[in-house]
């Protein structure tokens, strides 16, 4: 383990791999449940990338962009929808929750984590994108 990276809060090594595998597991699980649920694949395709529209908030500034992006990519809203979907027996609400979870899962598997206000490339899973040489 890289002690300096851990002290700086940087995700590395086995922990980074585990977090990405968790994302892949979430994606695979939600797609499997959606298929078992017999959800519409047209609805899935139409809604899958909707959370990524939140990156448009970066047009304002990095702080607001991170706030909006993180709200759309945390587990809180889809858990709320899933709970409401079960409680109200609402198939559409359940479908949206499963699709939203699948989106978050594949994002995390690909390394797109929750954002810091320093900019879009600063995530809880490490830096993403091309890094400029110092």
pLDDT the model gives residue 6: 45
- Is 90 exceeded by the pLDDT of residue 8? no
* Residue 93 maps to a domain: yes
pLDDT tens column, 78-134: 999 999 999 999 999 999 999 999 999 999 999 999 999 999 899 998 888 876 544
pLDDT tens column, 46-67: 999 999 999 999 999 999 999 9
* Residue 103 maps to a domain: yes
* Residue 112 maps to a domain: yes
* Residue 20 maps to a domain: yes
pLDDT the model gives residue 7: 47
Q: How far is CA 67 from CA 47, 86, 122, in A?
A: 21, 28, 13
Query: 84 and 1 in contact (C-beta within 8 Å)?
Result: no
| Parent domain of 61 | 9-126
Which stretches does DSSP call E strand in 10-80?
Answer: none
């Amino acid at each position: 383990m890289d002690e300096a990276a851990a002290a700086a809060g940087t995700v590395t090594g086995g922990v980074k791999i585990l977090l990405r595998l968790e994302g892949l597991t979430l994606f695979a699980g939600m797609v499997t449940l959606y298929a078992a649920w017999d959800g519409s694949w047209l609805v899935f395709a139409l809604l899958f990338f909707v959370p990524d529209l939140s990156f448009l908030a970066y047009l304002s500034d990095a702080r607001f962009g991170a706030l909006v992006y993180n709200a759309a990519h945390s587990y809180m809203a889809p858990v709320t929808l899933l709970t409401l979907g079960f409680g109200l027996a609402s198939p559409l609400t359940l479908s949206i929750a499963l699709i939203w979870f699948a989106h978050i899962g594949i994002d995390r598997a690909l390394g797109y984590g929750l954002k810091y206000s320093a900019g879009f490339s600063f995530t809880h899973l490490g830096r993403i994108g091309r890094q400029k040489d110092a």
